[in-house]
Every structure is written in C-alpha cells, then in structure tokens.
Structure 1
C-alpha cells in the first residue's frame, strides 16, 4: 500500500517546505506529542451528560482551552462550577495516555533551549499528562495558566517564542487542531500539522502529515529544516 504524500494546505508537494529554515520548535501537547484522546473523551463524556451537551458541540471546540469551550456552552452562572468539574474529571483520569509515534524522537532532535511545549491544558493537567505518558518535558512549557487568551489567539505561541528568546517568524509550530494551526499562523510561525485528531481538509498548515514519523529535523548553516520521508 502506498503511503500518502505529505501536502500543504494548497495541495503542493510537502518536500518544497524543506527550503525554509527555523530556529526553534513549539509543540502542542494533546494529539501532537501524546495520545490522550481516550482519557479526554471519557472525561468530557461524563461532563456532557451532567450538563446536557451534545458531542458535536464539544467537537467544535477541539484545540481550544477547556475554559473557553465551557464558557461557550453553559450559562454564565454555571461557568465556575462547570470549569471546576471538568478540571476534576480530567485530572482524575490520566489512564491510557501514551507518546505518539515519532513525537519523542522529533522533540529530542532539537537542543533543549530551542524547544517548547505550548498547550491549551492547565499547568496541573499538562504536568499530569506528560508524566503519565513518560515524556521528558522541555524546560519551557506554556500552559493556559500562562496566557490571557488561548488558541486560536496567537498569544500562547508568542509567549513560547519569547521564553525561548526566538523570533516567532523563526519558529515551527507542530499541531493537530485547526485552532492551534490558526494560532501558529497568526503568530507568524511556520506550521506543521499531524492528522491524529483532524482531517487534512481541516488543517490549513504549511505541511500536513499523518504521523510525525514521516518527518525529521536536520540542522544546516542557516538553522533547522524539515526533511520529509
């Protein structure tokens, strides 16, 4: 069976992106580095039953911080209680969380001071999921607790770049969700999307792959670049 050819949002052949260079990589966490989907679905399934929400309403907010999704779904007087409840459910369920194929290898390719995790999860939840997956976290981890505006706003990635001391235009964002790709683009970053939780058609990235094993990072005279295949 022939493997699908990596493409960008316009359908161009993926390897053309190799002539672009970057100095740092900003990784999303859930769906990009770790597979937390079963735990996430269990937690939100319980929450949705308790608050009378449909699955489609939850899916529309994929990639956004939980608090933003909750605020969009419940009445104002329920927000605080509803956010506490989903936080409680997610922190209690970190079972079945694993590192996604190629994620650890890609993460370890970059020097420690040139890589960050930028997640919509809270600090407590990010710490719990990273530990549950057995992933070694970089020194810079930007969580929802660090920002005023979550994805698709560019603020999370702008903070990640700033903490690494790198121009956002010289950063590669690795994401699985449309909201994350939109945030990366708005921050001026180069974008790589992986189809772990979204379709190719939903991911308006510079390059779209099915697995991170399809790409590697190589160092050159002008910085780092992606090698496809």
Structure 2
C-alpha cells in the first residue's frame, strides 16, 4: 500500500507538552477563581485558542466577551511560550519513528492547533525536519474542521486517502478523519476517549509503530 505522507500533530503527540500547557492552565484557572480539572482539560485539548479560551471562561462563569477572550488568549500564549523555553521531551517512540520515516523518504508535515510562535519554539528544540509545517493561526478553521489536514496534504502534494494522521485529541482525530485520512490516535490526557470509526486505530504510544504499520493503514488503491 502507498504511504503518501504522515501528518503529525504537535502538542501531546510529537512533544509531551500537555503537562506544560496544564501548568499555564492551572495558573489561569486560579486567576478566574477556580481549580483546573481533568474534565475541562479533556474539553479543550487539541483545540485552537479561539475555541479553548471561550470554553474555559464560560466554565469558570466569566462572560467570553471579545476583549476578555483576546486578553486571556494573549496571556496564555505568552505564558506557554515562556514555559516552552525549557526542556521539551518527545513522546515515547517519536524519535525512532521520525528517523525511520526520514530514512524511507516519506513526506511529513507538522499540523498544529498552536500558533506559529509556539510551533517555532518546538522546532527550535530540534524536532523535525518536516517538509511542511502548519500552525493554528495559519488556517481559517482549526481542528476539528478538516482544513488543517487538507491544507497540509495539499502542500505535500499528497492524496489524503494515502496519508496517516498521528493525533492525541478528539478534535484532531475528527479533523483527520474528516479530511479523508487514516488516523492513529495516541491519547495524552486522562479521560479522553475515541469513538470507534473506520480508518481509526488507537495506540498507547508510538513505541513499536513502524513505517510498515502506517503503510498498512492507508486506503487500498
């Protein structure tokens, strides 16, 4: 079977950044007079700031006015960028799979809901190289809309039907499936579940996932 491209999510999939996001989110919840919980984390994981911030504000009883959303998003973006300056560990199995895909010349894209400033911060730590990188503020509609993965596949010159998306969040999984890709879900947050779907597989981590594994997931000709 043909493997035309592998489309990587970033936060929680390529890099174990969800605990870093949680540090900032705990601080944010405290400023809103609340406590950050696994439930709200599961509700916003994998979504863009224009989706997650209004959800967070409503959760803590704050009216998500445009001004308040903009202020909160700017604070969160700045705080996470500060935290990204420290160590950013890869998720288990990532370095081995990246190296194997590079060795076989499989085109790869990094497709993130995070804004470009955070994507570049991760890339500065040596993750990659990717043939295409696409940030959340570079598309009109973020995940779960299919636009991010459709755009990345198009920039690779790849048919989505022969691409595999690697994701950790329900929003990202929905985006990849809606784009017509096969999806391997590797959850990073407790309480996150994935409804069974055609062309969706779930794994605990990427250890043992090979190029052959991904090739077997693509649609037959």
TM-score (norm 1): 0.80
| RMSD after superposition | 2.3
Deviations 1:53-85 (CA, angstroms, capped at 9, x unpaired): 543334311111122111334321311111111
Residue 167 (structure 1) aligns with: 159
Contact kept, 8 Å, 2:42 with 2:189, in 1: the verdict is: no
Distance (whole Å) between structure 2 residues aligned to residue 173 and residue 211 of structure 1:
14
Between 175-184 and 199-208, report the one with greater CA deviation: 199-208
Distance in 1, matches of 2:11 and 2:134, equals 13
| Residues 170-222 of structure 1, C-alpha deviations (whole Å, 9 max, x = no match) | 11001111111111110010011113325674364621111101210139xxx
Where 1:85 maps in the other structure, the secondary structure is helix
Asked if 1:210 corresponds to 2:208, the answer is no
Distance 2:178 2:77 in 1: 28
Flag structure 1 segments of 5+ consecutive residues without an equivalent.
1-19
> Mean alpha-carbon deviation: is it higher for 106-115 or for 20-29?
106-115
**Aligned pair partner of 2:107 in 107, 111, 114:** 114
Aligned residues: 203
> In the TM superposition, what is the alpha-carbon distance from 1:139 to its structure 2 partner?
2.9
Q: Which residue of structure 2 lines up, in the alignment, with residue 23 of structure 1?
A: 4
Deviation of the 1:100 alpha carbon: 1.3
State how far apart, in whole Å, the 2-side matches of 1:21 and 1:169 are.
10
Q: Distance in 2 between matches of 1:139 and 1:38?
A: 27
* Other-structure match for 2:174: 182
Matched, 1:194 2:177: no
Bigger strand fraction: 1
- For 1:180 and 1:159, locate their aligned partners in 2 and report how far apart those are by CA, in whole Å: 14
1:126 maps to which residue?
Answer: 119
- TM-score, normalisation: structure 2: 0.82
Q: Is 1:103 matched up with 2:94?
A: yes
SS in 1 for 2:54: helix
Question: What pairs with 1:9-158 in structure 2 (closer than 5 Å)?
Answer: 21-53=2-34, 54-55=36-37, 56-74=39-57, 75-76=64-65, 77-94=67-84, 95-111=86-102, 114-132=107-125, 134-158=126-150
